Amino acid sequence: MKKLFLFMATAFLSIPVSAQLLNPDFEYWASSPENPQTTNYALGWTCTNGMPLWVAPPFYFPAPTDAQSGNFAIKLSVFHHNDKAMAITGAPINSRPQALNGYYKYSLNQVMDVSNETLVEDFATVNVSLWKDNITIGSGTLTLSGTDSYTLFTCPITYSNNEIPDSIRVSLDCSILTISWEDWSASHVSVNEDGISSIFTVDNLQLMNTLSNKAFNASNVTVYPNPASEKIFISNFEGSAALYDTFGKLVLEQTYTPDGMDIATLQNGIYIVRLTNETDTSTIKFIKRN
């Protein structure tokens, strides 16, 4: 995992708080239980086409290696001519981000409008929603057009009141294609021979806050041993520690003590430890292995 950095925030300095999202740089992927050779599950992110599904499917593309920086990104597209992949994540939050930044590429963004059989330009969408007690208090939506190389985007967030949100959801949508709830027909389709179009590649998301206090020093925080079988310990940290599995499910949460965290009953696999104190949140990956 990329190293955690010390952010020294002076008055009204804009600093990244992307650690409040799980896997915002898409560096962590898990194998499919049905096919261990594939890595089509992005830790903390759910794949959907906008319709209700009993089980979250894997992403159509495995972890792409053409990252903006780091090792991996995430790639979404229209596929099978009339289906698409969206990526959604959610997390608790205790701040008011002003924007979501990230990098994207977008190619082959042309689809056919089924209603009149004409080719139209396709667009990708980034959406951010924030809630307080299940009531939406902040949101932002950004529409993106085609670009062949990684381009920085900024999705501004506006608020309806002065409250601090307690949860956030981010969605990445590759296409204007929608699927009917009545007959599962698509509003737009790919006309490419392989059925793939509107390829939306995203990397290195960052929530941006405007803060006037200092963030905690995370540069020396480590989780050890790693891999671990029975307990993990966290150096140079006081606060709350929460463990999430590869699907973003909370599996353990406690106020951290020098006695460590008991992970003996957890299944083998990759986990994310979310560390939170009064001023900041950071994440570290560890591996449970018996």
Question: Region 135-157: what's the mean pLDDT?
Answer: 95
Q: Per the confidence metrics, is the pTM higher than 0.85?
A: no
* Banded model confidence at residue 88, pLDDT cuts 50, 70, 90: very high
- Mean confidence (pLDDT) of the chain: 85
Question: Region 127-144: what's the mean pLDDT?
Answer: 97
Q: Which CATH number fits domain 13-211: 1.10.1040.10, 3.30.870.10, 2.60.120.890, 3.40.140.10?
A: 2.60.120.890
Q: What are 152's two structure tokens?
A: 């920085």
Q: Which CATH number fits domain 222-288: 3.10.180.10, 2.60.40.3080, 3.30.420.40, 3.30.465.10?
A: 2.60.40.3080
Question: Region 207-215: what's the mean pLDDT?
Answer: 53
Question: Region 116-125: what's the mean pLDDT?
Answer: 96
Q: Is the pLDDT of residue 199 over 90?
A: yes
pLDDT tens per residue, range 12-35: 233 344 447 889 999 989 875 556
pLDDT number for residue 138? 97
pLDDT number for residue 21? 87
Cβ–Cβ under 8 Å, residues 169 and 142: no
pLDDT number for residue 54? 56
What residues does CATH 2.60.120.890 cover in the chain?
A: 13-211
Buried b or exposed e, range 208-225, using 16+ CB within 10 angstroms: bbebeeebbebeebebee
- Which residue is associated with the tokens 């963030």? 215
Cβ–Cβ under 8 Å, residues 66 and 74: no
Q: What are 159's two structure tokens?
A: 């608020």
- Pick the more confident residue, 181 or 99: 99
- Pick the more confident residue, 246 or 131: 131
* Banded model confidence at residue 219, pLDDT cuts 50, 70, 90: low
Q: Is the pLDDT of residue 107 over 60?
A: yes
Nearest to 45, CA basis, from 102, 100, 89, 90 = 89
pLDDT number for residue 245? 79
Q: Which pairs count as long-range contacts for 65-71, CB under 8 Å and 24+ apart, including other chains?
A: 66/201, 67/26, 67/203, 68/103, 68/150, 68/203, 68/204, 69/25, 69/203, 69/204, 70/2, 70/25, 70/26, 70/27, 70/203, 70/204, 71/27
What residues does CATH 2.60.40.3080 cover in the chain?
A: 222-288
Asked which of 182-186, 193-197, 208-212 is least confident by mean pLDDT, the reply is 208-212
- Pick the more confident residue, 135 or 278: 135
* Banded model confidence at residue 37, pLDDT cuts 50, 70, 90: low
Question: Region 84-90: what's the mean pLDDT?
Answer: 96
